[in-house]
A and B are shown apart, each in its own frame.
Chain A
Amino acid sequence: MVSRRSIAALLIFFLLCSAAHSAAALRVTGAKWEGAVSPGVPATHTIVVEPSPGEGEMDAVVEVLGFSNAPDLSYVATGPCSACSSLSVTPTSLHLVPGERATVRATLDPPPSGGLYALISIRTLPAGEGAMGVVTGVQVPVMLTSPGAARETARIDSVDLLTDGAPAVEIWLTHTGDRHFYGLSGAVEIRDAGGSVIWRGKVDPAAHALVPGSSVRLALPVEAALPSGTCMVAARISGGDGTLLDERSVEVTLDEGVAAFSEVSCDLNPSAPAVLSSPDGRITLRIPAGAVFSSARLSLGPCPVDDIPAATAFAISGIPGRLNAPMTIEVAYSPEDLASAGGDPGRLCLAYLEDGAWVPVATACDPARGVLTASSDRPGCWAVAVGGGGLPLVPVLGGIALLGGGYALLRRRR
């Protein structure tokens, strides 16, 4: 009697012979049609299509589709097609032969005004009978504007502070104008109830054009812990030339503080090294082989302490006591960390929390990469701290206190 699971566990052979084999590969020239058109004056665009070198004969279809931005700004062939009623392509099917070029001619009869947007899709047809086939296609963005189309405007629809998992600010916005534009960017500032800036962040200018009518989402991971209470989240969006398009502020109340990132874990094996990084990649732990005597699970998560020396703190947990060999801790410091050091990265160091005090450790700073590196066998809470030019402040202060105490004791005995 063989269980169902055992049967399923027997190798189920999917003969994916010819899977993705000799996939149809396309070369398309004239892969973008962007420019100005005059109402009533027909415009044409030539698209040259050929099989990529080494490919065989293939068939392809040419279609005119809608054009909008997906939430992540990528171009999608769904939604409105402002150019469809006045745009035609000829031919709509191609038989491509190696070494020969096929020409697709797109013709547009511009209406009186407005921007005209569509995607011209050139897509090979599936060939062969393999279990997994691959088809390739190229979509040609059509972005044409008539003289009357001049509004590159957008509005912020919503601003939210997401605290499920790692904190992030989410901005939804809509293009409200009639002309596409490149370089959409965003900036966010979070202030506490007292008006002090907790964190600033920005979204770099987008590589995709924002097409009229599209609603998109900008998301910025917040690289700082947020305290409980009320804070103000201010968002701005700008066009490619830096023009402010819209801004909005929302007040957010947090019942409890929010850690800068969610916990991640990895299994440690006595005989193998391991690497554990925070989800945003800013914090990396490199654990050498032999750091543990038996298998263990190491975690990297938020530090549950509000009073941190700068802006970045994290907790290393899962190991009772200390490691048998020191791990390397790498932290990319944030602009807020740097601001805590008066803009001098050489003053930054890493510190661990012991008995309520932050204890700096010898730290190497690479200003070019913006990374601090230290070596330690200690789990627990760690943070970026200002070490005053690399001096291990707490040991020094502790030594001074010890000397002072000893001196006082000696005087008392006399």
Chain B
Amino acid sequence: MKKWFFFALIAVFFLIQASAAASSGSAEIETDTFGASVDLTVTGSIADWSLTVGENEDTESITMTVLSNNAGGYDVKVYDALDGGKPAETAGHLTRYGDSYLGTYLADPLQVRSSGAYVSLSGVQQTIESKVGISADAGDTYAIGIKQRLAPSDTILPAGQSYRIVVTFVASAL
């Protein structure tokens, strides 16, 4: 008799516990493991950038933000990945573009910088930013400087054509 009473008591205890869990609306949250993350955003625009013969620079129109939780830090590199069939010899240069790249290109390469010195864009990745440690909560924001020298010999294009380049920004956890 005592044995049955003891089992009944245990059963009642578990029933009470189960109903309490249900009525309080508690939920178990299980997270998957998370690893190093890197978020790279490049925003802004240089609208109607009128280039004149000589040095042209814009340091206020484009910003880059990196959000990273990698304790070792991150770096950001830039290069011309020759997208859209851009000829190899034009790497880093604004190149004449109609429906496709037409070969002629500005004599001087585009230059890009973040918080350091300008690098002349090429087909090789070059570091423009590097940081040891994690980013700020809202990300680390950098003003990107763009510089283009226009030579007197650079060809003035007919209507319907323009010079074009695609700059690739690559972030990496260290």
Contacts and interface: CB of A to CB of B under 8 A. Distances in A.
Contacts of B91: none
The 6 closest A-B pairs by CB, nearest first: A25-B41, A133-B166, A29-B37, A27-B39, A21-B45, A31-B173
A139 B169 contact: no
A16 B152 CA distance: 20
Contact of B168 (A14, A70, A137): A137
Contacts, number: 187
Interface string B54-89: 000000011000011010110101000101100000
Contacts of A244: none
Interface string B133-174: 000000000000010001010101000001111111111111
A12 B51 contact: yes
Interface residues of A, number: 55
Given A31-B36, A31-B37, A132-B164, A77 B173 contact: no
Interface of B: 34-53, 61-62, 67-68, 70, 72-73, 75, 77, 81, 83-84, 94, 97, 110, 124-125, 127, 130, 132, 146, 150, 152, 154, 156, 162-174
Interface string A97-128: 00000000000000000000001010101100
A25 B43 contact: yes
A134 B42 contact: yes
Nearest to B131: A207
A17 B61 CA distance: 12
B103 to A, nearest CB: 16
A13 interface: yes
B45 A74 contact: no
Interface stretch (A3-11, A254-262, A267-275): A3-11
A27 B37 contact: yes
Contacts of B174: 75, 141, 207-209
Contacts of B68: 31
A136 B40 contact: yes
A56 to B, nearest CB: 13
A18 interface: yes
Given A31-B37, A132-B166, 13 more contacts: A8-B156, A14-B51, A15-B48, A20-B62, A31-B36, A74-B75, A123-B81, A135-B83, A137-B40, A137-B170, A139-B171, A207-B132, A208-B75
Contacts of A27: 37-39, 67
B47 to A, nearest CB: 5
Contacts of B164: 130-133
Contact of A126 (B44, B70, B154, B166): B166
Contacts of B45: 16-21
A264 B83 CA distance: 40
Interface centre among A22, A31, A141, A209 (most CB of B within 10 A): A31
B170 A12 contact: no
A19 B46 CA distance: 6
Contacts of A138: 38, 40, 170-172
B160 to A, nearest CB: 12
Interface centre among A19, A140, A141, A182 (most CB of B within 10 A): A19
Interface centre among B35, B48, B50, B152 (most CB of A within 10 A): B35
